Structure 1
Amino acid sequence: MLAMNILALDLGTSSVRGLVLDGAAKPLPQALARRKVAVAVDDDGAATIDAPAYLAALVECLDELSAAGRLDGIALVAASSQWHSVLPVDAAGAPLGPLVTWLDTRPAPLPGVDGPADADAFHQRTGAWWHRFYWSVKLPWLRAMSGSAPARFLGLPEFVLGELLGDAPMSVSQASGTGLLDIGALAWDGEACALAGVHPGELPALAPSDWQGRLRPEYAKRWPGLREAVWAPPTGDGAASNVGSGCEDPTRAAVTVGTSAAVRLVQAAPAGTPLPPLPHALWRYRVDHDRIVTGTAYSAGGNLYEWARRELRLPEGTALEEALAAVEPGQEVRVDPRLGGDRPPGLAPAGSGVLGGIGFATSAVDIFAGLMDGVCRMVARDLAAIESTVDSTVEVVLGGGAVAASPWWRRAFEMALAPRAVTHVTNPEVGATGAALVALHAFPQIVRMGEGGSSGSARSGGPQRLL
């Protein structure tokens, strides 16, 4: 294997991180820089980020890594980025307001505006719905709310990389998260763009499969270790997490539980090939030009875990696990865990959670377990729908900080997903690892990975079968 390193950027909602990996996409020790991100929220459902402040935080991360000598020998830069964000900008690329994140629930169809002519055909083409989550609804709402006339609309990675690289087209992975992309043809969908009220010139150009970015001269001077590095198109964070978890084909689905939760399956689907029918309740996005990812996501995950533990005044860590040991998953407490409302296609608002089956003998630990088990049941239901797209039962890999922190929750998932084989990946950087592996897939000429650099060995803390 060639002696080279990879810089992976994780452009998240709550933090921005830069970390260095070796040529097999394995994180190197003490080569991580992280800055927290402030998300401005209010009672109206706003959830926005100051885009220039976000860029400044990323620059600080790269300054820190450079000062420590960690950027020396970087040949490839990969990025995992949040999906669905949108930023209105003027003709010079300057923001006309804050970045609207996927957490923002304010966007709504304008009065008198109808949706797609054929909702199912629209869903099959774009993998999305006419829903507040996507640009088809967000962009008209943004225009009406701001009262300005944006020249263009960008996602988070296009804004950030546009500053660092100059030329920063939108990857097909990021474009698929807008809900405006025909995911089979890999082109902007005419009907979706009409619903959004935009023409292609107001959207980022789409990056071809062989696109490579280079730092602007002023940044190459600032970070000399990145002077010769090739920058790969960014990967949507959900797709990157699947690849980083080892779920790169239709035999293994990833269940990731971080702040929120999701279940996803990757399949090969080169541009122009027929795509399998998409069940109504599932979305479908792009990993890259060669692969699609099908799945669903939930507003309840680690946020539900922390809320319930805090409000029920339960202990933390080992003490909580000891209390849960006496509770069998699948108990009598019945729960709808949608405290944060629905992700698309659902429209349930925040505050839709329900508890049932509670009596005087029900303890706080019983309620907590019921909430966690409710998430498991939702995942099991939707995994069955995902399996219908491949006509086979799949293995499941659990990942994410929330399930890593709770052996009981992992056991509850295993029981809910039975008889499927369930494993657990311990690598905390599956998103960054996955983005690096996607980049290596796109640019095999940059690094010829040796036998020790196969995707299975690249993940520190690989999947472990649960007992």
Structure 2
Amino acid sequence: MNVLALDLGTSSVRAMVFDDRVRARPEALARRGFDLSIAADDSGTATLDADEYLAALIACIDELAKAGHLDDIGLVAASAQWHSVLPIDAAGRPLSPVITWLDTRPAPPDGATGPLDPEAFHQRTGAWWHRFYWTVKLPWLRGSGLAPARYTGLVEYILTELLGAAPMSVSQASGTGMLDLATMEWDPEALDIAGVSTSHLPELAPLGWQGRLCAEYARRWPQLAGALWSPAIGDGAASNIGSGCVDESRAAVTVGTSAAVRLVQPAPRGAALPPLPHRLWRYRVDDHRVVTGAAYSAGGNLFAWARRELRLPDGPELEQKLAGITPFSGVRADPRLGGDRPPGTAPAGSGELRHLGFGTTAVEMFAGLMEGVCTMVHADLQVIESTVDHPVAVTLGGGAIAASPWWRRAFESTLAPREVAHVDDPEVGCSGAALVALGRADQTPG
């Protein structure tokens, strides 16, 4: 049996096929790039068009079908971006673009109050009362003049279109900031803060849920008509599993569009969760595990922006110029061009470059920005280690890390003396989703 794995990311949509040992099938990969709509005035707008996104995914699956790669698919798995929200009408149609994790516009209504006990709320949900989460996003959407019948996430909208019905996985629900991570039910206080009832939110997927294509798409892709679809997991969780960072001994530092440092910990349903430091979030991988960490709006997007705006060369030529720079010896940078991820509240446009002189080169400015990301990751890795009371090894991964050996070495230097490995696989999200769907999250792909 083969597995079709979907990666519903922020900057691209990918579909690829694995065999039953989670080894990628040769050439069975389709990808479509996707651009966020980002306001040029630094207002913080960062949205996606849900139907255009669905069309990109359909095109990927069509491409695999045309090439004969969908034969013997028995299971479909998905890794998907966390934190998106889409207001929909009673017929399930979008009332606005998808509000993504990068959108910094949401704000609490005037006079609104958050949790009665913010620390207890953080321990239960792994989140904060913050613009990043649905507790702030839903009231903000209503205040913008919309009257949604319900709210859903991007992945739930996509899967509902393909399957006819698709409940929200506990992994995706945890990314809303409204799930009690221990009971795996919607948190009553979070519902009250958001001003909604469970009828306004997606149904939560029961343990063991699986779906099938609706008739329309079963006719389009008859090879997938009998395949079972597993609940989607958050892209960060999938990246950890696909990188082999499946327990408390090894953290994943992943740099894709954004960046994150994360540690997976065991957490069966109903079990008490370990204490959570204020600076860290915690979400669900599945019914058996949580992932604890910190994330940043600066990652591969910062790399691409800086290389473009500083008019730097590509690939080997850039690496050669960077090789002559002594790490952390010149330009200092605050890389938060896209603002803070929670619990920080810095808005978009908060980036800075310091210690510039007339002799400063574009490559030195670039290096300072990339080193700024390394510094943020290191600080939060130290906090993560405090939750397990021992140093952890690190695996670096993600497309941006694969694209720059110099940046990888900068991370290794910053994180020393820890053991630092590197996984040179840009598709760890897909492989991680496949492993979880197969019930093999503790195994290494291949």
TM-score relative to the length of structure 1 = 0.92
Deviation at 1:120? Answer: 0.8
Contact 2:276 2:387 in 1 (8 A): yes
Does residue 456 (structure 1) correspond to residue 444 (structure 2)? The answer is: yes
Deviation at 1:13? Answer: 1.7
Deviation at 1:219? Answer: 1.9
Matches within 5 A, 1:300-339: 300-339=298-337
Structure 1 pair 424–124 and aligned structure 2 pair: CA distance change class (3 A): same
SS at match of 1:211: coil
Tell me the distance in 1 between the aligned counterparts of 2:416 and 2:258. 22
Between stretches 51-60 and 433-442, larger displacement belongs to: 51-60
Tell me the distance in 2 between the aligned counterparts of 1:277 and 1:332. 38
Structure 2 counterpart of 1:23: 20
Matches within 5 A, 1:345-424: 345-424=343-422
Deviation at 1:61? Answer: 1.9
Structure 1 pair 367–225 and aligned structure 2 pair: CA distance change class (3 A): same
Between stretches 19-28 and 136-145, larger displacement belongs to: 19-28
Residue 410 of structure 1 aligns with an amino acid whose one-letter code is R
Residue 30 of structure 2 aligns with an amino acid whose one-letter code is A
Does residue 113 (structure 1) correspond to residue 90 (structure 2)? The answer is: no
Tell me the distance in 1 between the aligned counterparts of 2:416 and 2:243. 20
Deviation at 1:457? Answer: 4.5
Structure 1 counterpart of 2:280: 282
Deviation at 1:356? Answer: 2.6
Tell me the distance in 1 between the aligned counterparts of 2:369 and 2:407. 10
- Quick one: which of 263, 269, 272 aligns to 2:270? 272
Does residue 99 (structure 1) correspond to residue 98 (structure 2)? The answer is: yes
Deviation at 1:117? Answer: 0.7
Deviation at 1:218? Answer: 2.6
SS at match of 1:415: helix
Tell me the distance in 2 between the aligned counterparts of 1:333 and 1:166. 53
Deviations 1:371-429 (A, max 9, x none): 21111111110000011111111110111111111111111111110110001101110
Tell me the distance in 2 between the aligned counterparts of 1:371 and 1:365. 10
Contact 2:168 2:202 in 1 (8 A): yes
CA RMSD after TM alignment: 1.6
Tell me the distance in 1 between the aligned counterparts of 2:297 and 2:35. 19
Tell me the distance in 2 between the aligned counterparts of 1:366 and 1:53. 38
Deviation at 1:330? Answer: 2.4
Does residue 172 (structure 1) correspond to residue 170 (structure 2)? The answer is: yes
Percent of aligned positions that are identical? 67
Deviations 1:312-362 (A, max 9, x none): 333221111111212222214322222222111111122222333334444
Structure 2 counterpart of 1:135: 134
Matches within 5 A, 1:175-190: 175-190=173-188
Residue 28 of structure 1 aligns with an amino acid whose one-letter code is R
Deviation at 1:166? Answer: 1.7
Between stretches 420-429 and 90-99, larger displacement belongs to: 90-99
Structure 1 pair 146–22 and aligned structure 2 pair: CA distance change class (3 A): farther
Does residue 74 (structure 1) correspond to residue 73 (structure 2)? The answer is: yes
Tell me the distance in 2 between the aligned counterparts of 1:312 and 1:161. 40
Residue 225 of structure 2 aligns with an amino acid whose one-letter code is R
SS at match of 2:383: helix
Deviations 1:78-137 (A, max 9, x none): 001111111111222122222111121111100110111111111111101111110000
Deviation at 1:67? Answer: 2.1
Structure 1 pair 29–109 and aligned structure 2 pair: CA distance change class (3 A): same
Tell me the distance in 2 between the aligned counterparts of 1:91 and 1:309. 45
Does residue 33 (structure 1) correspond to residue 30 (structure 2)? The answer is: yes
- Quick one: which of 275, 291, 295 aligns to 2:293? 295
Deviations 1:135-184 (A, max 9, x none): 00000111111332x22111011111112112211000000000000011
Residue 30 of structure 1 aligns with an amino acid whose one-letter code is E
SS at match of 1:28: strand
Contact 1:269 1:292 in 2 (8 A): yes
Structure 1 counterpart of 2:145: 146
Contact 1:73 1:225 in 2 (8 A): yes
SS at match of 2:207: coil
SS at match of 2:344: coil
Residue 408 of structure 2 aligns with an amino acid whose one-letter code is R
Contact 1:24 1:455 in 2 (8 A): no
- Mind listing any 5+ residue stretches in structure 1 that lack a counterpart? 445-453, 459-467
Tell me the distance in 2 between the aligned counterparts of 1:312 and 1:353. 15
Structure 2 counterpart of 1:47: 46
SS at match of 1:441: coil
Structure 2 counterpart of 1:436: 434
